[in-house]
Every structure is written in structure tokens, then in C-alpha cells.
């Protein structure tokens, strides 16, 4: 399962989600997690969202691009 950490009204998150959906050719389930639902998540990811996590690896914020998502999903 892919975990996608996000928040409301986040244009960068929307762009990252569109890329993730397009590159998720194996149709791995995606769990969208609003970081504002947990103080722990808010503290951990507040300055780095969006975050895509898969198999114990993560890609953060402005590192999210076609190459990095593809590499993450090919693990």
C-alpha cells in the first residue's frame, strides 16, 4: 500500500497526486492521509508535504517528480 501524506488546499499535493495516479500502473492501493488528523503526523511532515511512502521509503515535497516516483514504485 502507498501512503500519501497531504493536507487540504495544497496545490503541490494535487500535482503530486496526479503524478502518482498516472504512474501507479500496477494499481497499488493508495491511502491518503491528512496530516492535520494527527499531531504526530503534523509535527513530522508539516514542512515536507506532500510525502509519498511505499515499502519503508519516502519521497518528499519538491523531490516528487516522475523519476523519483517511478523509482519508488519499482522497489
Q: What is the pLDDT of residues 12-57, one digit of tens each?
A: 999 999 999 999 988 999 999 999 999 999 999 988 999 999 999 9
75, pLDDT greater than 80: no
Whole-angstrom distance, CA of residue 75 vs CA of residue 15: 22
DSSP state of 12: H
What pTM value is reported for the model?
0.91
Sign of CA dihedral 40, 64, 52, 56: negative
**The three grid cell numbers given for residue 71, joined into one nine-digit string:** 523509482
Instruction: Give the per-residue pLDDT at 56.
Output: 92
Instruction: Give the per-residue pLDDT at 3.
Output: 97
Amino acid at each position: 500500500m502507498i501512503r500519501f501524506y497531504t493536507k487540504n488546499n495544497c496545490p503541490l499535493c494535487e500535482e503530486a497526486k496526479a503524478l502518482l495516479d498516472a504512474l501507479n500502473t500496477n494499481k497499488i492501493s493508495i491511502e491518503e492521509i491528512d496530516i492535520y488528523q494527527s499531531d504526530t503526523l503534523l509535527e513530522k511532515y508539516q514542512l515536507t508535504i506532500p510525502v509519498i511512502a511505499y515499502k519503508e521509503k519516502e519521497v518528499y515535497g519538491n523531490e516528487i517528480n516522475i523519476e523519483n516516483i517511478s523509482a519508488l514504485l519499482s522497489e
